[in-house]
Amino acid sequence: MPLNARTFPPPLRAALRPVYHAAYRCALRLHWFWKDHFGPRLRNAGNVPLPPARLRYRVGESANAETFIAVGESASRAIESAAESVGRPLETCETVLDFGCGCGRTLAWLIERRPAVEFHGADVDSEAIEWCRGNFPPAKFAVGAPLPPTPYADASFDLIYAISVFTHLGEEHHRLWLAELRRILRPSGILLITVHGERERKVLSSMQTAQLEAEGFLFASSRKLRGILPDWYQTTFQTREYLDRALSRDFNVRSYIVGGMGAQDMVVLQPKTAAGPSEESMGEAALP
């Protein structure tokens, strides 16, 4: 009979859990070492530098260099396309913030293509921020905290994007960070965020799906990442109705793009004080 930890008595499972997580972290470190020292000799893509494997893994749960580069370029193109679709192309922006920039997977490509724009990056990962400072000298970086405020003044940015950030935050973190990003966004600015849409709900259990439909919001802990990522940074789902209510306090929804960031949907927002179409007048776009 194959060994199945789920058949162990609960006290034994609880006792073994720290051992499992320690072994998993050790295996990850060995994997990162292998990728850095014996993997493909892919050091950069053009002028875009390649961070070490451990930093690549922390932004996408993969240390594969080719995947890191491809996802970063694709995400940067999606941001430019979404901003342009609401009449705010990046070349019209003076200041742009990558909120949750990690080791610059997306930001690297925008810096390369838009040298006239002043780019900023912020993340709670201090090691990733230090790496960015050493590899993207034109941009400015700040180490963030789990909760607001940021070090930025009111109305600092023309464009803020948060890729795969609100897909990991609990309800209170959602509320506080939306208000903070509204504070540092200029009245004519644009905020881009990504969320888990309906297509991503297939990973949920029937019990989780029922909870999501009843409450509109689900914050699910990842067994695989427990002990690796902080408890406040797990996996989040919300219904479209819940999302509309949460955003309507401070923003107009300019566009909701299904699949706008690959597996995630993209929401294009503008502060309510800015002139522009109301959220009721905006339709839904879908990418193939």
The 8-class DSSP code of residue 152 comes to: P
Give residue 23's pLDDT band: very low, low, confident or very high (50, 70, 90): low
Predicted confidence at residue 58, as pLDDT, reads 87
Q: How many CA atoms lie within 13 A of 167 on its CB side?
A: 22
Q: Residue 221 pLDDT > 60, yes or no?
A: yes
Query: SS3 for 162?
Result: strand
Predicted confidence at residue 282, as pLDDT, reads 41
Contacts of 50 (CB under 8 A, 6+ apart): 42, 43, 44, 56, 65, 68, 69
Q: Residue 269 pLDDT > 80, yes or no?
A: yes
d(CA 25, CA 229): 11
Q: Residue 151 pLDDT > 60, yes or no?
A: yes
Backbone angles phi, psi at 249, to 5 degrees: -65, -40
Mean pLDDT of 109-116: 95
pLDDT tens per residue, range 86-102? 999 999 999 999 999 99
Residue ranges of the alpha helices (H) in 49-103?
53-60, 65-85
In order of their start, the domains of the chain are: 67-286 (3.40.50.150)
Decide the pairing of beta strands 44-45 and 48-49.
antiparallel
Q: Residue 279 pLDDT > 50, yes or no?
A: no
Chain-centroid distance of CA 27 in Å reads 25
Give residue 275's pLDDT band: very low, low, confident or very high (50, 70, 90): very low
pTM of structure: 0.82
Predicted confidence at residue 17, as pLDDT, reads 56
Predicted confidence at residue 1, as pLDDT, reads 41
Q: Residue 64 pLDDT > 50, yes or no?
A: yes
Q: Residue 127 pLDDT > 70, yes or no?
A: yes
Express as a percent the part of the chain with pLDDT over 70: 76
pLDDT tens per residue, range 183-214? 999 999 999 999 999 989 988 999 999 999 99
Residue ranges of the alpha helices (H) in 116-218?
126-135, 171-184, 206-215
